[in-house]
Amino acid sequence: MLISLPVTTQNTELTRPALTTLSEDERLFRDSVYEFADREIRPLVREMDEDAQISKPLVDKLFDLGVMGIEIPESFGGGGASLFHSVLAVEALSRVDPSIGVLVDVQNTLVINALLRWGNDDVKRRYLPPLALHTIGAYALSEAGAGSDAFALATRASERGDHWALSGRKLWITNGNEADLFIVFANINPEAGHRGITAFLVERSVAGFTVGKKEDKLGIRASSTCELLFEECLVPRANVLGEAGKGYKVAIETLNEGRIGIGAQMIGLAQGALDHAIKYIRERKQFGKAIAEFQAVQHQIARAATELEAARLMVYNAARLRDQQQPFLTEAAMCKIYSSEVAERVTSLAVNLYGGYGFVKDYPVEKLFRDAKIGQIYEGTSNLQLQTIAKQILG
């Protein structure tokens, strides 16, 4: 089943639009993705979490669905839609399993987004069609000593004729186990600091490149998080993404948009937890009546729903701003930090309302509680988001 991806037209009359409502096409798209997730993903969630592995047949179905190449132009085999559609897909998938949500998120908001913006015609011709149809991508920036300080890279690239030779080690790389294409950041001139950082397109089959240890994680366990090893890994000059020495710009601008995708993952996750909690409190009886009839429980649900709606509107607004080519840096940071905090609170509430059942793996909310924690860590910690917001407001 291939979902139709309508192209969003730009409203040039609005300078700072807060277009948070959904059109009928957008609503149908989000609901269609959720129906797929409910039917195809939900039966696999616990098994994938315990095995710490995404089902390969499920990945094939995601490509068939069309959600792995949402912004890729139709001429390259993609959906030709917007970042907003990527956000809707990630939200809908994460409502069932945030591990699948982040797989699709990294593919669209980081990898494909970077190629669309920074790739030349040759790069787009070579890599966009496979990414739309069958190839998973990964984004390799983080290192042992370069997490929040992303530009303290130790990975180096040296000239070797018509190639660059990469040497170093990357950590915490999402999609590392499944990806066949990696955007890898290395420094070609350490004396120049961040102005030596360059983005390279590295294929999995290249000699000198190895996918190393897969991390055993607290949450989003089905999503692979791996180390990458480079030992004189030869990459053709044609596989530089953007310009040599301009990789810092590729990284910063791509991550700004990726944070909106993480916001979408978090609101989808929180909605899934709230769905489970509402269903449970209607069925669970104590003191002769359903616990949903107790005012204290009602107020907790009401507050959770209110916070979730606020987070959703922030995520949607940031995505709309980006698609309308308006400034969105502050809004992206705000939606990322707030949605991750809301996800943690809503999933914690769900566990509490389930009582003892919420603490065991036979019920779904303990997994969502574990999954929520990563939202305040990856693609920019909460402290970094606060710093970004403060600089924008005060600077």
pLDDT of residue 20: 62
Q: Decide if 294 contacts 283 (C-beta within 8 A).
A: no
How far is residue 113's CA from residue 378's CA, in Å, rounded to a whole number? 18
Q: Decide if 382 contacts 390 (C-beta within 8 A).
A: no
E strands in the chain = 137-140, 156-160, 163-174, 181-187, 197-203, 209-214, 225-236, 240-241, 285-286, 289-290
Task: Write down the domain spans for the chain.
Answer: 24-136, 139-245, 249-394
CA atoms within 13 A on the CB side of 121: 0
- Which sign, positive or negative, has the C-alpha torsion 168, 172, 175, 178? positive
pLDDT digits (tens, 9 = 90+) for 243-264: 999 999 999 999 999 999 999 9
pLDDT of residue 101: 98
Query: Among residues 26, 331, 344, 379, which one is catalytic?
Result: 379
Q: State yes or no: is 379 an active-site residue.
A: yes
pLDDT of residue 151: 77
Residue found by looking up tokens 């669309």 in the block: 116
Question: What's the pTM?
Answer: 0.94
pLDDT digits (tens, 9 = 90+) for 343-388: 999 999 999 999 999 999 999 999 999 999 999 999 999 999 999 9
pLDDT of residue 11: 41
- Average pLDDT over all residues of the chain: 95
pLDDT digits (tens, 9 = 90+) for 65-100: 999 999 999 999 999 999 999 999 999 999 999 999
Q: CATH topology for 24-136?
A: Butyryl-Coa Dehydrogenase, subunit A; domain 1 (1.10.540)
Question: What's 249-394's CATH class?
Answer: mainly alpha
Label residue 18 by pLDDT band (50, 70, 90).
very low
Does CATH place domain 139-245 in 3.50.50.60?
Answer: no
Closest CA to 267 of 213, 235, 308: 308
Label residue 5 by pLDDT band (50, 70, 90).
low
Label residue 13 by pLDDT band (50, 70, 90).
very low
Interaxial angle between packed helices 247-283 and 98-105, expressed in degrees from 0 to 180 and rounded to the nearest 10: 160
Label residue 185 by pLDDT band (50, 70, 90).
very high
Label residue 395 by pLDDT band (50, 70, 90).
confident
pLDDT digits (tens, 9 = 90+) for 43-66: 999 999 999 999 999 999 999 999
pLDDT digits (tens, 9 = 90+) for 249-303: 999 999 999 999 999 999 999 999 999 999 999 999 999 999 999 999 999 999 9
